[in-house]
Structure 1
Amino acid sequence: MVPVLCKPFTWDAPTPMSSHERFRITSFVLTTERAASIVLFTTEGKPFQNPLVTVNITNALTHKDQLTVHCKSADDDLGVHQLHPLGGYAFTFRPNFIGTTLFYCTFQWPGWSYNFDIYKDSRDRDRCNDLCLWIVGEQGVCMFHYVTKKYDFCYTWVDK
Structure 2
Amino acid sequence: MDIPKRYLSLFILIIFVTTDLSHAEIKVEILNHLGSTVQFHCKSKDIDLREQRLQPGGSWSFQFQRNIFGRSLFFCSFDLPNGRRWFDIYEEPRDYEGFWIHYLWRIKPSELCKYTIYKVGYSMRRDGCFIWNKN
TM-score, normalization by structure 2: 0.77
Unaligned runs of 5+ in 1: 1-25, 30-38
Equivalent position of 2:128 in the other structure: 153
Separation in 2, partners of 1:65, 1:128? 33
Matches within 5 A, 1:35-54: 40-42=15-17, 47-50=19-22, 51-54=24-27
SS of 2:134's equivalent? coil
**Aligned-pair distance for 1:28?**
2.5
* Greater helix fraction, Structure 1 or Structure 2: 2
* 2:30 maps to which of 54, 57, 64: 57
Equivalent position of 2:3 in the other structure: none
SS of 1:117's equivalent? strand
Equivalent position of 1:14 in the other structure: none
Matches within 5 A, 1:23-102: 27-29=10-12, 40-42=15-17, 47-50=19-22, 51-61=24-34, 64-102=35-73
TM-score, normalization by structure 1: 0.66
CA contact (8 A) 1:95 1:121 kept: no
Unaligned runs of 5+ in 2: 1-8
Separation in 2, partners of 1:136, 1:152? 14
Separation in 2, partners of 1:150, 1:67? 25
Separation in 2, partners of 1:55, 1:129? 11
Separation in 1, partners of 2:116, 2:67? 23
* CA 1:85–1:128: 2 relative to 1, 3 Å: farther
Q: Which amino acid aligns with 1:41?
A: F
**Aligned-pair distance for 1:156?**
1.0
Q: Which amino acid aligns with 1:28?
A: F
**Aligned-pair distance for 1:48?**
2.3
Separation in 1, partners of 2:29, 2:78? 14
Give aligned pairs, total. 122
Separation in 2, partners of 1:93, 1:149? 20
Equivalent position of 1:104 in the other structure: 75
